[in-house]
Amino acid sequence: MENTKHHFQALKTLACAAATAALALFAVAAQAAPVNLALASNGSEATQSSTYNTRHDGMVPNAGQAIDGNTDGDWYGVSTITHTQLESQPWWQVSLGAGAALIKEIDIWNRTDCCSNRLNDFNVTVLRGGNVVWQSLNNSWLSALPEAIFDIPSVIGDTVRISLNRTDYLSLAEVQVWGTTASAVPEPGSLALVGLGLGAVGLSRRRGNRPA
């Protein structure tokens, strides 16, 4: 019985220490200055469901045009804009070069010379390992401004996806994903230890409250 008690105490101490360390990492990540994780220069890669014909100036409106740092939405200007074919539920997504990151905000820059109404009834999704961790559905482009900002409740993700819910073209001038790089984000094992540590504390309290 005494050995069991000591074993439990050691487990509780270890779990609590791991939980404290993981929570400390969360605090560091939450306070760090956000950077644009979606930039191609940060190692990110973008893909889309299809690609429209080459533009008048020879530019190919591929998915990477939305992560090059250029927010100009004029198709006939000096812009670099993505453009899919006319299709059912077209999509665009970026895989963050930083890997899993603490995402705080997503800014979407729309085409402005015409056709801005195409970005309507659209979804914004954050994924991690292919699983949805945050989603904003059926958004409408209500503002006359060229930019839409989505405040994210500090979720950990590695991919951001934008998709239409109907048949149309999808064009994006730029997508910015603001957050903290993976070096400050706890691994899934650390997150599990947070739960283990808190569970151990709770179990210890319950045991301590039992009558002798």
2-27: pLDDT as tens digits? 555 555 465 455 545 544 544 445 55
The residue ranking higher by pLDDT, 170 or 113, is 170
Mean pLDDT of 42-70: 92
Question: Per-residue pLDDT tens for 191-207?
Answer: 444 444 444 444 444 34
In the predicted model, is pLDDT for residue 165 greater than 80? yes
Task: Tell me how far apart the alpha carbons of residues 196 and 15 are, in angstroms, rounded to a whole number.
Answer: 6
pLDDT for position 10: 52
Q: Which region, left, alpha or beta, applies to residue 154 given φ > 0 means left and ψ of -120 to 50 means alpha?
A: left
In the predicted model, is pLDDT for residue 115 greater than 90? no
Helix runs in the chain, H state only: 2-31, 188-209
Task: Tell me how far apart the alpha carbons of residues 165 and 187 are, in angstroms, rounded to a whole number.
Answer: 33
- Please state which of the ranges 83-92, 147-156, 172-181, 197-206 shows the lowest mean pLDDT: 197-206
